[in-house]
Structure 1
Amino acid sequence: MMEAGNASRKADRCSCTRYIPARRHLHSFKGQTMTGTTRSSHDLDPRRRRALVRSWRRGTREMDLVLGGFADAQIDRLTESEMDEYETILAVSDTELFRWVTGEAQIPQEYDTPLFARILASRGS
Structure 2
Amino acid sequence: MNIPDGLKYTKDHEWIKIDGNTAIVGITDFAQGELGDIVYIDITTVGQEVNEHEVFGTVEAVKTVSDLFMPVSGKVLEVNPLLDASPEKVNEDPYGEGWMIKMELKGSVAGLLSAAQYKELIGK
Tell me the TM-score range normalised by the shorter chain.
Answer: under 0.3
Structure having the higher Rg: 1
Query: Could you say which structure has the higher strand fraction?
Result: 2
Higher relative contact order (CA 8 A, sep 6+): 2
Query: Could you say which structure has the higher helix fraction?
Result: 1
TM-score (norm 1): 0.26
TM-score (norm 2): 0.26
